[in-house]
Structure 1
Amino acid sequence: MEDTAIPYELPEVENHSFFFIDQRVEPSLEAKLHRHDAWELYYVVHGRGNRMAGDTLQPFAAGDVALIPPSMLHRWEYVADSADEDGCVRYLMVAFSHSLVERCMEVFPELRNRLFGVSFPTDALKFGPESSRTIRKVLSEMNGMDELGRLSAMFRLLPVIYTTSDRTFAGKPMRIERDVRRMQQICAYVMKHYVHSIALDDIAAEVGMNRSAFCSYFKRCKGMTFSQFVTQYRLNTACDLLKHSQKSVSEICYLVGFNDLPHFVRVFTSIIGMSPSRYRKQLNTGNS
């Protein structure tokens, strides 16, 4: 699987026990799929889009609050047209290590009494209306606080996020090695069979999944449908043949798995931005 486990270190804040940010950023600049060794409590102030957390893709909107556990792959992908008049989306976030929770429970009996016996979640969670309202209020208040005030606010947040029943499932951790092997298997199958039509049922069976589960899985991992992936692979192969062979456009059309020349030319032009003939001519002009 490509570009999934991007290392992402939270900023080191000297003499602070956790990280707080009020972020306004252009949607395209938001972090790619990544993970870090910290709990992430995230409040969407402005914007909407899709959140990937572990194995799950869910839509999100302004007002949503979610908790991502340590080491879980995740990404908040904002829709461009949900930005404000300055072209930005906004979120509030706190990130903190699990050791902070453990140390606080050791030192402060009041917190230990509240969290005693709690099973810390391994799944990502989305908070419901009541708990979201409480968390939004505390995170918003943190903006105007000094460091001691923010620490005090954290003591109010921890019992809420770990003990409330007002929350729903938002994603399970992915076993990366399994997903890498499965995606390698899919890619190898496409490389072997792209010249012919590839039925969804066949590729799904190849990796031991049903058709529906395969489609959801592939879209989550690759960010495109399987059909789009196969088309892109065929076009990449066509570009390589146009560049390095003397075969005609018609021959290349059938060699890369298209069975209709006009359709091949339309798809190529739409995605590559020019016709196959012009693409080859431009290459020859550049090499002359």
Structure 2
Amino acid sequence: MEDTVIPYELPDVENHSFFFIDQRVKINIEAKLHQHDAWELYYVVHGQGNRMAGDTLQPFAAGDVALIPPSMLHRWEYAPNSADDDGCIRYLMVAFSHSLVERCIEVFPELRNRLAGITFPTDALKFGPESSRIIREILSEMNDMDELGRLSEMMRLLPIIFTTSDHTFAGKPMRIERDVRRMQQICTYVMAHYVHAISLDDIATEVGMNRSAFCSYFKRCKGMTFSQFVTQYRLNTACELLKHSRKQVSEICYTVGFNDVPHFNRIFKKIKHISPKEYRNNHSDQII
């Protein structure tokens, strides 16, 4: 079944220039696939899972910070076993219109000097370690401030999120509605079945295409084969487990859908240019 895109309106913020929330909710209450006419800056405080942003599916974990452009389809799907003892996940999120940015640039020369000549991203972004640390600190401080204090912190946030080079790609918009629905359907299927073998015939049937047409379609949309996409997703999921769990490499291998540990090690090193054990050692401070 395809995910249904939910028309989503941010809560009314009358007499406020942007929306800020510290959200702690049950997993089943968190928004499904949706879009809204605002920038979304999202900090995962507790929980982990998979994020769909535009045409891209990526795992996320506590501590991650991402920026979703206006009108981009997106969804944060939390894993049930990542909730706290009350079955809740938590995130801090600020949403703001692009007109707010334009008005601030027009009114405040100090901000205009920082943002002069920049090209605003059309892709979703995941911020790197240093930028994430700064953004997490600002959002956490905003949580304890009154409205005027939060507005002041927004002036600090805007140049950081729009000028830092410390980020990676997290998704690009898809302009054709049919392709959006189909790619989201493919991503949902991979999320549900990546632990097991996924045949081309199975995924092609899932989206109502023959095998040959599906292969051509997927390569055109994603710039890679479906097999490469599944491998990439499995390895990204493995990286999150290496960083955030104490599972053995062999257990992680089978958890993410590989059925042979030496093969997993070879593929991991070929794609990531480092072995799984070396990757874990480099990120050992993130294991809780």
> What TM-score, normalized by structure 2, do the two folds share?
0.66
User: Rg bigger for which structure?
Assistant: 1
Report percent identity of matched pairs.
78
- Corresponding residue number in structure 1 for 2:217: 209
- RMSD of aligned alpha carbons: 2.6
1:55 to 1:142, Cα distance in 2 relative to 1, 3 A:
same
SS of match in other structure, 2:122: coil
Deviation at 1:209, TM superposition (A): 3.3
Tell me the TM-score normalized by structure 1: 0.66
Deviation at 1:108, TM superposition (A): 0.2
- What is the match of residue 2 of structure 2? 2
Could you say which residue in structure 1 is the equivalent of 2:63? 63
Count of residues paired in the alignment: 206
Matches within 5 A, 1:58-97: 58-97=58-97
Secondary structure of 1:148's counterpart equals: helix
How far did 1:175 drift? 2.4
Q: Offset of 1:80 from its aligned partner? A: 0.5
Determine the structure 2 residue equivalent to 1:137: 137
2:20 equivalent in structure 1: 20
Using the TM superposition, give the Cα deviation of residue 6 of structure 1 relative to its aligned residue in structure 2, in angstroms: 1.5
Any gaps of 5 or more consecutive residues in structure 2? 187-199, 231-288
Question: After superposition, where does 1:1-288 map in structure 2 within 5 Å?
Answer: 2-179=2-179, 199=201, 203-207=210-214, 208-209=216-217, 213-214=225-226
Measured at CA, do residues 88 and 119 of structure 1 come closer, stay the same or move farther in structure 2, by a change above 3 Å?
same
Answer yes or no: is the 8 Å Cα contact 2:3–2:181 preserved in 1.
Answer: no
Kindly indicate whether the alpha-carbon contact (under 8 Å) linking 2:54 and 2:180 is maintained by their aligned counterparts in 1: no
1:142 and 1:153 in contact (8 A); partners too: yes
Contact persistence 1:204–1:210 (CA under 8 A):
no
**Alpha-carbon displacement from aligned partner over 1:153-183 (angstroms, at most 9, x marks no partner):** 0000000000001000000102233416968
Residue type of the alignment partner of 1:137: E
Q: Separation in 2 of the partners of 1:16 and 1:59?
A: 33
Q: What is the CA-CA distance between 1:55 and the residue it aligns to?
A: 0.4
